[in-house]
Amino acid sequence: MEAHMTPLSAGLLLFLIMDPLGNIPFFLSLLKHVPPQRRRWVVIRELLIALAVLSAFLVGGQYILNLLQLKQESVSIGGGIVLFLIGIRMVFPPADGGIFGKPGEGEPFIVPMAIPGVAGPSAMAALLLLANNQPGRLMEWGIALFLAWLATSVILLSATYLFRWLGESVLTALERLMGMLLIALSVQMFLAGVAAYFKAAGF
């Protein structure tokens, strides 16, 4: 994460990582076995759980890194790798159904809809980096997280209508475009971590 990142760019990054357009078919398949009258409540519940988890990572980011004795460069490199893998799976989705694999039956609870559907490892790593790099801007990062989550929530709550309106082919194309952007961001995050590591090591 670069020092000049604004709340808007941070929010856009988090929105891309949450991948709401790519999650539409995944969410619809998860809700297939849920009674129609409960589907909206289930989505709202899972979105709120995801927001709570991501907020905890934002607020407790520094403490988590200190507890695990992880350096900022390690999280940047690791986050870049995870982000790259998520981006690759968005561009080239596996045959078993979406970037998170084949959904199970029954009503989803926390896994896999909230985690990793919305609050995935890449989003957690991004929030850890934001909190660690510039802890004095937690309020701004919180606003960025909320706006990204709100946009994601609007899209996922409208999943049925968007799927009918846009169609699977358009959603797939949009997801792959978002995947390409994530791959570019992951490379930038990885290189920033490597550069920071060599700088800290005195090279």
pLDDT, position 97 = 52
Spell out the domain ranges in the chain: 7-200
pTM above 0.85, yes or no: no
Task: Give the pLDDT of the chain (203 residues) as one tens digit per residue.
Answer: 554 678 898 999 899 889 898 888 888 888 888 888 899 999 999 999 999 999 999 998 778 778 888 777 887 788 788 778 878 887 887 765 554 555 555 677 888 889 888 998 778 888 988 887 787 889 999 999 999 999 999 999 998 888 888 887 888 888 788 888 888 888 888 898 899 888 888 77
DSSP per residue, the chain: --TT--HHHHHHHHHHHH-HHHHHHHHHHHGGGS-HHHHHHHHHHHHHHHHHHHHHHHHTHHHHHHHHT--HHHHHHHHHHHHHHHHHHHHS--TTTSTT----SS--BSBTIIIIIIS-HHHHHHHHHHHHH-GGGHHHHHHHHHHHHHHHHHHHHTHHHHHHHHHHHHHHHHHHHHHHHHHHHHHHHHHHHHHHHHHHTT-
pLDDT, position 119 = 92
pLDDT, position 111 = 80
pLDDT, position 116 = 81
